[in-house]
């Protein structure tokens, strides 16, 4: 008789939000909720390819590999409610929202290859500013502001 597969264990995870990797990839970050239901595992678990997991602070019951608990079976994820500490949830959501904004910005920046005409026109002024010293810099900036703000 062939060896029967080991049964999958179930663990609870709390989703703490998305983060941006050093390579600008999206990481979905979780902490394991320990058996007491209150304590969180210190090390976070980062996963790269997940579908929607709700807002930061959501708790999930999920099956894990019997051989390696960090391997989760995403098709078994079952929503269990929100984490009880409002302060922690607000912190996680704020960090996750900031990461989402940074990731969106990086994607837009990578796609936008257009030239900024205004910056190109101001390049000689920028070079002059770099060469100027002390009071000359202040006067150069004042001249630029005066030119931009004067009435025609």
Give the span between the Cα atoms of 46 and 27, in whole angstroms: 6
Q: Above pLDDT 90, what percent of the chain?
A: 47
Domains of the chain, by residue range, sit at: 9-111, 117-149
The answer, yes or no, to whether residue 103 has pLDDT greater than 90, is no
* Average pLDDT for 30-50: 90
**CA distances from residue 130 to 40, 84, 143 in whole angstroms, order as listed:** 52, 54, 15
| b/e 105-130 (16+ beta carbons within 10 angstroms → b) | eeeeeeeeeeeeeeeeeeeeeeeeee
Q: Above pLDDT 70, what percent of the chain?
A: 98
Q: pTM score, two decimals?
A: 0.67
């Amino acid at each position: 008789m062939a060896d029967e597969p080991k049964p999958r264990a179930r663990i609870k995870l709390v989703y703490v939000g998305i983060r941006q990797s050093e390579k600008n990839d999206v990481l979905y970050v979780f902490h394991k909720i320990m058996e007491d239901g209150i304590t969180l595992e210190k090390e976070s678990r980062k996963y790269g390819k997940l579908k929607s997991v709700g807002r930061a602070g959501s708790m999930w019951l999920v099956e894990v590999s019997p051989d390696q608990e960090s391997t989760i079976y995403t098709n078994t994820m079952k929503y269990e409610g929100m984490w009880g500490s409002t302060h922690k949830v607000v912190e996680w959501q704020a960090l996750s929202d900031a990461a989402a904004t940074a990731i969106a910005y990086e994607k837009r920046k990578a796609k936008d290859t257009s030239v900024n005409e205004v910056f190109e026109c101001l390049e000689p002024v920028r070079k002059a500013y770099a060469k100027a010293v002390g009071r000359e810099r202040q006067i150069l900036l004042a001249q630029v502001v005066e030119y931009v703000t004067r009435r025609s």
